[in-house]
């Protein structure tokens, strides 16, 4: 049986009514943890260039891609089956292959050679600058959605040298019989503040709003032309004491190649994430202890790559 249709809220970033936009974001974050963003200011040329360069890289022979294999700093190429995003899964190894880029000026980043891929780095830098701008605009609206000052997350230092990560993803079309049943990306939540995703339109993304429900109900997230898909990450869930949900999601194999690019906005490593005062009370005490962002991310990465 096909998953039920899911209609996520559509947030118009060009709206001048910030109070109304913030109210819509609040409802979306409480009900789904996911929403679409339109009129975000990133034009089709930039997105098309991004996907062209992504495809050009993933089309390289595996031996060439492995020269940029991810190391302990989590930057670079990760081949199929190297990650299992769902640590409780009995099926080890997700089908996807990925390429991770940290903050653009970070010396730890790995880059394909300019001779082989002359437009790669400038394309990634251009997209990173634009998507970071969108993410910061969204964070100010999320602050308003939490009945905080719009500059709250800036004032507490979360956006002092934030950790913006780009992840290029390629999901296979044909799957060997021996790998049937595995997921493109197994069930997981994202680790940071928010994630902004752009896809090539091929389906496969599903969310589960009630992760403790049995059996779990998975709903398809449909492609909306020109829209970004935004979801709340674990850090924001911890800040809000689960008022805003970091929703579990996965990518299923659909028999078609699929490309997407995720941008993860994380606070800087020294930022302490602890329950906001207006998100807890005597009857609803903090569910999580304070934690430094860097410590939380390191543990989540360690579990992901040790499967």
Q: So what's the pLDDT on residue 167?
A: 98
Residues 6-19 have pLDDT tens digits of 789 999 999 999 99
Pairing of strands 272-273, 291-292: antiparallel
pLDDT above 80 (res 1): no
Alpha-carbon torsion, ordered 121, 123, 125, 127, to 10 deg: -150
Average confidence (pLDDT) over 110-121: 96
Q: So what's the pLDDT on residue 216?
A: 82
**166 CB contacts (<8 Å, ≥6 apart)?**
100, 101, 124, 127, 128, 131, 261, 262, 263
Q: How confident is the model at residue 304 (pLDDT cuts 50, 70, 90)?
A: low
Residues 191-235 have pLDDT tens digits of 999 999 999 999 999 999 887 777 889 999 999 999 999 999 999
pLDDT above 60 (res 307): no
Q: So what's the pLDDT on residue 301?
A: 78
Q: So what's the pLDDT on residue 72?
A: 72
Residues 166-176 have pLDDT tens digits of 999 999 998 87
Q: Which two tokens stand for residue 281?
A: 């009370």
Q: Which two tokens stand for residue 249?
A: 């999601």
Q: Which two tokens stand for residue 271?
A: 């930022």
Residues 89-105 have pLDDT tens digits of 777 789 999 999 999 88
Q: Which two tokens stand for residue 60?
A: 């390289």
Residues 20-55 have pLDDT tens digits of 999 999 999 999 999 999 999 999 999 999 999 999
CA 295, CA 272: separation in Å to the nearest integer?
10
Q: So what's the pLDDT on residue 182?
A: 85
Residues 161-202 have pLDDT tens digits of 888 999 999 999 988 777 777 899 999 999 999 999 999 999
DSSP SS3 for 256? coil
Alpha-carbon torsion, ordered 210, 215, 216, 221, to 10 deg: -130
pLDDT above 60 (res 126): yes
pLDDT above 90 (res 87): no
pTM: 0.95
pLDDT above 70 (res 305): no
Residues 250-303 have pLDDT tens digits of 999 998 999 999 999 999 889 999 999 999 999 999 999 999 998 998 888 776
Average per-residue pLDDT in the chain?
92
**263 CB contacts (<8 Å, ≥6 apart)?**
128, 131, 132, 135, 164, 165, 166, 167, 195, 196, 197
């Amino acid at each position: 049986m096909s998953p039920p249709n899911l209609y996520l809220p559509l947030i118009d970033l060009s709206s001048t009514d910030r109070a109304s936009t913030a109210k819509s974001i609040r409802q979306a974050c409480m009900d789904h943890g996911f929403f679409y963003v339109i009129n975000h200011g990133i034009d089709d040329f930039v997105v098309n260039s991004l996907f062209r360069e992504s495809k050009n890289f993933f089309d390289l022979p595996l031996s060439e891609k492995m020269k940029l294999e991810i190391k302990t700093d989590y930057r670079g190429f990760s081949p199929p089956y190297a990650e299992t995003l769902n640590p409780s899964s009995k099926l080890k190894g997700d089908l996807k292959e990925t390429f991770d880029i940290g903050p653009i000026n970070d010396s730890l980043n790995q880059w394909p050679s300019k001779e082989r891929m002359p437009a790669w780095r400038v394309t990634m830098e251009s997209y990173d600058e634009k998507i970071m701008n969108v993410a910061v605009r969204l964070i100010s609206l999320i602050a308003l959605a939490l009945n905080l000052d719009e500059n709250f997350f800036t004032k507490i230092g979360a956006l002092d040298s934030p950790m913006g990560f780009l992840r290029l993803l390629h999901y296979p079309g044909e799957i060997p019989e021996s790998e049937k049943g595995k997921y493109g990306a197994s069930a997981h939540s994202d680790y940071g503040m928010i994630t902004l995703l752009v896809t090539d339109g091929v389906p496969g993304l599903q969310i589960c709003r009630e992760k403790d429900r049995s059996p779990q109900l998975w709903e398809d997230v449909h492609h909306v032309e020109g829209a970004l898909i935004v979801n709340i990450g674990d850090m924001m869930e911890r800040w809000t004491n689960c008022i805003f949900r970091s929703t579990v999601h996965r990518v299923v194999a659909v028999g078609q190649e699929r490309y997407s690019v995720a941008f993860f906005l994380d606070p800087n490593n020294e930022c302490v994430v602890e329950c906001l005062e207006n998100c807890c009370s005597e009857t609803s005490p903090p569910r999580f202890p304070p934690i430094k962002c860097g410590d939380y991310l390191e543990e989540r990465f360690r579990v992901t790559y040790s499967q």
